[in-house]
Structure 1
Amino acid sequence: MVDPDGGPAGLYYDDEEPEEAPASRLPLKRIAIVSGSVAAAALLVSGIIYGPAVVRVLGQSDTEIKSPDKVGAFTLDTSDGAKSASEYIRDAIATEVSLDNSVGLIYRDSGTDAILVAGTARIWKPEETLKTA
């Protein structure tokens, strides 16, 4: 006896139900598209929120410090003692805070001294940096 499907006789039954494919298969393509869309939307929103701040911070590089000879009634003290004292204070602050450029100056007005220490750097948390200094 020969099976009409071409196989040996008696091994196949017509009463068997065919196996069904699993119905709960994950749609990977849809998941990838949704995940990519969510990531793109998150990137766009963060760019809108943080973009202007980043542009301002990056645009303020290469700042120069200029020290005028006179500020109001105060005049710049260029004596050796004033230079030594202002540089000592500047060095003390510059060791605590990483500065790109820094300057220390002493201004005098009839009996009143003003010490100016200034520096430039990209400081992301100024409050903490000032407390450290």
Structure 2
Amino acid sequence: MNKTLKTVIIVVLFVGVAILLIFRSDLIGQAFAALAGGLAAFKSKLFNSSRINVEEEINNIELEHKQKRNDWALVKEEYDSKFNALKARMDYLDYKSATISKQLGELDTTEKAALKKNSNLSDDELLDWLRN
């Protein structure tokens, strides 16, 4: 709507409220409610709403959501690759652990006794052993 039509509507609204206040004192609450509703409609730009502006806002929101979805997809790919790398490292450690266990099982009795003796050493004895 153009500006003059808005001005006419506002003036008519105020004149109507003034007439209600003067001639019908029992309608004061309704008059204030009508005034508040008129001001709210004016402030919300109800008189100047445009379908194009709403469509532009919808398109902007859809673009923003699409961008956020793409960002989340990139983050998901990043964490999936980190997860796969950790899984591969864990598989390698499992393999190494199995290999070491197999090698320990193949030790002869003297080597097993030496390992048992070393595992029972105190901290001071280990330091002395490492220095020699």
Identify the structure with bigger relative contact order (alpha carbons < 8 Å, sequence gap 6+): 1
- Bucket of the pairwise TM-score, normalised by the shorter protein: 0.3 to 0.5
Structure with greater Cα Rg: 2
TM-score by length of 2: 0.34
More helix by share: 2
More strand by share: 1
